[in-house]
Structure 1
Amino acid sequence: MSRVAAYTGTFDPLTLGHVDIIRRAAKLTDRLVIGVSTNSLKSPLFTLEQRVAALRREVMAIQGDIEVREFAGLAVDFARSVGAQFVVRGLRSGTDLDYESPMAAMNGTMAPEVDTIFLVAAPAFAHIASSLVKDVARGGGDIEHFVPATVAADIRAHTR
């Protein structure tokens, strides 16, 4: 049986922290399926299609069997639909753990066959949040240290 993991999020925009989690998760699994969704509580900078395209472009350089798909609904249902035994979640801080732990417990109740794996952010990326990147970009600040170069170019083109 192959080890399949799902990594879900809005990825708006895709950050270097996301790329680091993807790279590390791809090493732990035989197949990684990235699910890109919308979140009604967030104000997106990019459309769903643009975010999927950015992710597909960036993961081409990462070794492993990685697929990018869009989805709607619950992450745990997406994980089931792609045959994942694991859901990967990145943690930047204890605050993220406080937020993610109850979700992992609820997912475990709804889908006991799907485990949650937490990957702690590398120190170089622990401070990067998509919402902060959007704020910096909208204010005209330098975002090159927070997102891949191609994503930075996309953001600059989009916020002009």
Structure 2
Amino acid sequence: MSDKVGLFAGSFDPVTNGHLDLIKRASLLFDKLYVGIFYNQEKQGLFDIPSRKAMLEAAVSQFDNVEVITARDSLAVSIARSLGVTQLVRGLRNAQDFEYEAKMAFFNRELAEEIETVFLLTAPEWLYVSSSGMRELIHFKVDISAYVPEAVVKEVEKKFENNPKI
């Protein structure tokens, strides 16, 4: 029997407790789970890729079967194939997420029919937590510690301690 290998991809700018809950639950479904920071070099994020990777690695360090990777300007299915991934993991918060993710699952299946997409519903306590929401709260200097892992709080403090303008 072959290993079950998952890939949960996103921008994780920044990683939230909602992401972490999905990663925890997905890690129980797979022998190996890759968490991929996928990014487009033409899009500017709040945190650079090394910072995102460091925050994510700190947040998932408790999971023995989870590995953080980065991919630039690549299709998830292309990276998935190269890693031997059997399933793509996607989180759903609402109907809008479903519409977007269903379309992506269609094209991913067209491109790599051997890779299945698995949807996990967001836990109710994280339904309204998003990276974009966290970026807005960071901009207005609101405490985000209830919504993100400690590594994110520390990175925000480090990044903006000497910069009054975010």
TM range (shorter): over 0.9
Residues 1:136 and 1:41: Cα distance change in structure 2 (over 3 Å): farther
In 2, the alpha carbon distance for the partners of 1:129 and 1:102 equals 20
In 1, the alpha carbon distance for the partners of 2:3 and 2:40 equals 30
Which portions of structure 1, spanning 4 or more consecutive aligned residues, are displaced by more than 6 angstroms? none
Identity of aligned residues (%): 36
What is aligned with 2:150?
149
How many angstroms does 1:67 deviate by?
A: 0.9
CA-based RMSD: 1.3
Unaligned regions of 5+ residues in structure 2, if any? Answer: none
What is the aligned residue count?
Answer: 159
Q: Which moved more, 1:92-101 or 1:149-158?
A: 149-158
Query: Alignment partner of 1:71: what SS?
Result: strand
Amino acid at match of 2:110: T
Residues 1:24 and 1:83: Cα distance change in structure 2 (over 3 Å): same
What is aligned with 1:2?
3
Unaligned regions of 5+ residues in structure 1, if any? Answer: none
Give deviations 1:7-53, integer Å, cap 9, x for gaps: 11110001001100100000001100111121468541111111111
**Max Rg structure:** 2
Give TM-score, length-normalised by structure 2.
0.91
Query: Alignment partner of 1:105: what SS?
Result: helix
- Asked if structure 2 preserves the Cα contact closer than 8 Å seen for 1:137 and 1:156, the reply is no
What is aligned with 1:48?
49
What is aligned with 1:113?
114
Give TM-score, length-normalised by structure 1.
0.94
